[in-house]
Amino acid sequence: MKSAYITGANQVEIRHSEQPRPLAGELLVKIAYCGICTLEQRLYTGQRSIYLPIVAGHEASGTIVAIGSGVTSNHMVGDHVALDLANRCHICPECLSGNSNLCENRFNKGQQVLGALSEYMTVRAEQAHLLPKDLPLEHAALTEPLACSIRSLNKVGLKLGETLLICGSGTMGLLHMKAALAMGTRVIMCDIDKGRLLDAQRMGCTATLDASEIDVSIQQVKDLTRGRGVDCCIITSTAKDAARLAFQVRAPAGRINLFTSYDGRPEFPIDMNTVHRQEYQITGSEGRTEIDFNQAVRVLSNKTVGVADLISKIYPLDSIEKAMVAALEKTTYRVLVKVE
């Protein structure tokens, strides 16, 4: 079978290897589509390194082609699935607190969370979420990032009728936006890139803010919320101004979730006394649990959230290099690789 191997900085190539066989408890999945997320981009550019050569890819959909022994779940050959390529031991303190996304053993030796830029992949049965046949497999490749967005939105406890500010209008910001609109909230998008804000408008956001003009933005939020501020914020951008704005336009008891992963250890642009007096709630979210993943599957299956307009380009596996380059461009949202 063919796989895309990253072999060095800005080097990726197709190599052939033997098709794997499902061990006990495993399924063999023929990959259909795989997204190129920030992690894949960083592995490609060399900004991040795990080991070399490496087959990346963790946002994937596909079809079950073989079932190993001892699988007691409902999976059948031919089923369409979205892959939740995370390791969850189900018995560490984090898994047993309902936070399997923080599983202590998720990076233990011998486990993998990448590898979907390949024609076939073996996964544990619990990693393959069943999909209805009428959900296009290219849409299903966005299940994973949508699941992370849903976890993030659940952290702020978004309620029907509230107003949400999302800082950062990239793929992740827009996925948050689509899910939040589907939950019956008003969504204000904030970014420094006017093109992205126009896209956000086309996709239905309630209002947009230019992040480069903080004072104007603060006033706009006031106007939009009768002077009260937004009920909650999600930060999907690493820009320092994004966090600063978010902490300035919240209503009393406002909730903010830090979705983005920062380089280094940036300080909070707010003090402890204000958090105390205003009863703010600050949370972080990292990845997703299997329950978040399931919610994303349901939302996509029900057509409650549509992701077609977030798929900027689709390349065949053989054009993996072009796909990587396209994903790195500022004007693209998600770039998919069509593997099958």
User: For residues 258-297, which are near a copy of itself according to CB under 8 A?
Assistant: 258-268, 270-286, 290-291, 293-296
Residues 214-253 that bind a copy of itself (CB under 8 A): 226, 228, 243, 251-253
Query: Which listed range, 103-111, 137-145, 194-202, 320-328, lies at the site for a copy of itself (CB under 8 A)?
Result: 103-111
Nearer to a copy of itself, 251 or 320 (CB): 251
Q: Report, in Å, the least distance between residue 13 CB and a copy of itself.
A: 31
Query: Which listed range, 12-20, 43-51, 72-80, 309-317, lies at the site for a copy of itself (CB under 8 A)?
Result: 72-80
Q: 312: part of which helix (H) or strand (E)?
A: strand 311-316
Torsion angle, alpha carbons of 59, 18, 105, 41, to 10 = -40
Q: How many CB atoms lie within 10 A of CB 229?
A: 21
Q: Which two tokens stand for residue 158?
A: 């978004």
Could you say whether residue 63 binds a copy of itself (CB under 8 A)? no
Could you say whether residue 157 binds a copy of itself (CB under 8 A)? no
Nearer to a copy of itself, 243 or 311 (CB): 243
Q: Peptide bond preceding 269: is omega within 30 degrees of 0, i.e. cis?
A: no
Which residue, 136, 43, 40, 41, is CA-closest to 82? 136
Residues 306-335 that bind a copy of itself (CB under 8 A): none
Residues 115-134 that bind a copy of itself (CB under 8 A): 125-126, 128-130, 132
Nearer to a copy of itself, 3 or 220 (CB): 220
Q: Which two tokens stand for residue 276?
A: 């105390």
Which residue, 66, 1, 111, 45, is CA-closest to 324? 45
Output phi, psi for 186, to 5 deg.
-85, 140
Name the β-bridge partners of 265.
Answer: none
Among the listed residues 216, 304, 318, 331, the single contact to a copy of itself using CB under 8 A? 304
